[in-house]
Structures are given as structure tokens and as C-alpha cells.
A and B are shown apart, each in its own frame.
Chain A
Amino acid sequence: AQSVTQLDSHVSVSEGTPVLLRCNYSSSYSPSLFWYVQHPNKGLQLLLKYTSAATLVKGINGFEAEFKKSETSFHLTKPSAHMSDAAEYFCVVPRGDSSYKLIFGSGTRLLVRP
């Protein structure tokens, strides 16, 4: 069965410093993986997705993630945090069967200090 675990419920960084949001996955096969971002009282926006074409995936707003099969990880990074990055981030894996269900991690709230 597919699952994702987000290792930190909250991450706090200073503006201009690197961001690291951690996600580990569990899957019986090489999965697709997504990162979504949600700003307060807004819907979820797709940041980036991994579909086995390349292990380093670049997304919007300067974010990227690297799929590491040996570590079963798909961590989200950004070299320099901006105040507008403050939001909640979700690591997501499709359930993989025919019912299109997405499995969401519990979310990581990113706080950016001025």
C-alpha cells in the first residue's frame, strides 16, 4: 500500500535561508509523487510532480524535489526562502489503483521569519 510521511509538522526559517521540507514514502512500486502548497484559506496548488522521467524535479516558485529510491524520500527544497512561501505544504502519492485516490501527508506548515 502507498503512504507518505511528512517528518515535520512545522518548519521555521529566516527569509533568504534555505528551505527543506521532508517527505518519506512507502510504495510497492516506483510511484508518482507530488508536492502541493496551500496558502491560508485557499485551495491546493500543485508545486511539482515526479513521474519517473527524472529524479530531480523542478517546480514553480523556485522549489525542487529529488526522488531518492534508496532512501524512499522525496524532500522539497528551495535555496532561498521568501516571505510569500509561508504556507502549508503537502506531500502526496496516488493510491495507484483504478480509483484515482490521492494519499495526502499530514502537512508541514512553513513559517518564514523576516
Chain B
Amino acid sequence: ETGVTQTPRHLVMGMTNKKSLKCEQHLGHNAMYWYKQSAKKPLELMFVYSLEERVENNSVPSRFSPECPNSSHLFLHLHTLQPEDSALYLCASSQEGRNTEAFFGQGTRLTVV
């Protein structure tokens, strides 16, 4: 248990569905992240929120929409996804400042059919 909880752990959705991934951190951190991990590809940083404001968005398609209502919660809203979006989605949190490590959740394994 790392203090970062992701739900659901597994999700299968059709291309016309709308779903949301949830992340909650219990570490008192003020920065949260979404990463995408696809098979045989490097880990991709998708979004960064610091103090509940989005500070980085790495050219992610608009079918992925993040939301950070407070410093403990982070959502990733999904709609009209493509099969190539199937991947492990990892949430992480860290404390503001340079050179600090991130703590990761267990991930959500997403399959788009």
C-alpha cells in the first residue's frame, strides 16, 4: 500500500462509452499525475496538477479529460476512446519541490473494445 489508491483496477469499455478513472492520495501531497503505460513503450506522462491547477499537459488527445477537485483527488474522464488507448493508467503523487520522488497507485488496466 503506497497511499495512492486507484479505482477501478480493471475496466473494459466500448469506443462509444464514457467512463472515469479515480485516484485518491492519502499522503498530504500537493501534486498529482496521470501516466500511461503501453506495452513495449516508455512510460508517458499525460497530465500534472500542482496545487489543484494543471501545470502540464503533454499533447494528450481531448478524449482524455482530467479533473482535480482538490489536492487529494484526481480523475481522468474518458470518452470515445480508441483501441490503441488500451493501456495501464497510473496515478502518482508527490510533494511540491525539486527532486522529490513520486508515489504510484496500482494502476487501472483499461481495455477498449
Partners in one complex: yes
Residues of chain A touching chain B, judged by Cβ–Cβ distance below 8 Å, are: 31-32, 34, 36, 41-46, 49, 51, 90, 92, 94, 96-102, 104, 106-107
Contacts A43-B6, A100-B96, A101-B56 known; 12 new A-B pairs at CB < 8 A: A31-B99, A34-B101, A41-B107, A43-B107, A44-B92, A90-B43, A94-B99, A99-B56, A100-B31, A100-B98, A102-B102, A104-B42
- Is there an interface contact between B48 and A43, defined as CB atoms closer than 8 Å? no
Chain B: which residue is nearest A39 at the CB level? B106
The smallest beta-carbon distance between A36 and chain B, in angstroms, is: 8
- Count CB-based A-B contacts (< 8 Å): 58
A104 and B43 within 8 A (CB)? yes
* A interface: dominant SS: loop
A97 to B98, CA, bound (A): 7
B interface bracket (residues with beta carbon within 8 Å of A):
20 to 34
* Cα–Cα distance between A94 and B100 once the two chains are bound (Å): 7
- What would be 13 A-B contacts, judged by CB atoms less than 8 Å apart? A32-B101, A41-B109, A43-B2, A43-B106, A45-B104, A46-B101, A94-B99, A94-B100, A99-B48, A100-B48, A100-B50, A100-B102, A104-B43
User: Bound complex: CA of A11 vs CA of B104, how far in Å?
Assistant: 24
6 A-B pairs closest in CB distance: A32-B99, A43-B104, A44-B104, A43-B106, A94-B99, A104-B43
Bound-state CA distance A96–B97 (Å) is: 9
Q: Is B94 an interface residue (CB 8 A)?
A: yes
On whether the beta carbons of A100 and B42 are closer than 8 Å, the reply is: no
Contacts of B97 in A (CB 8 A): 100
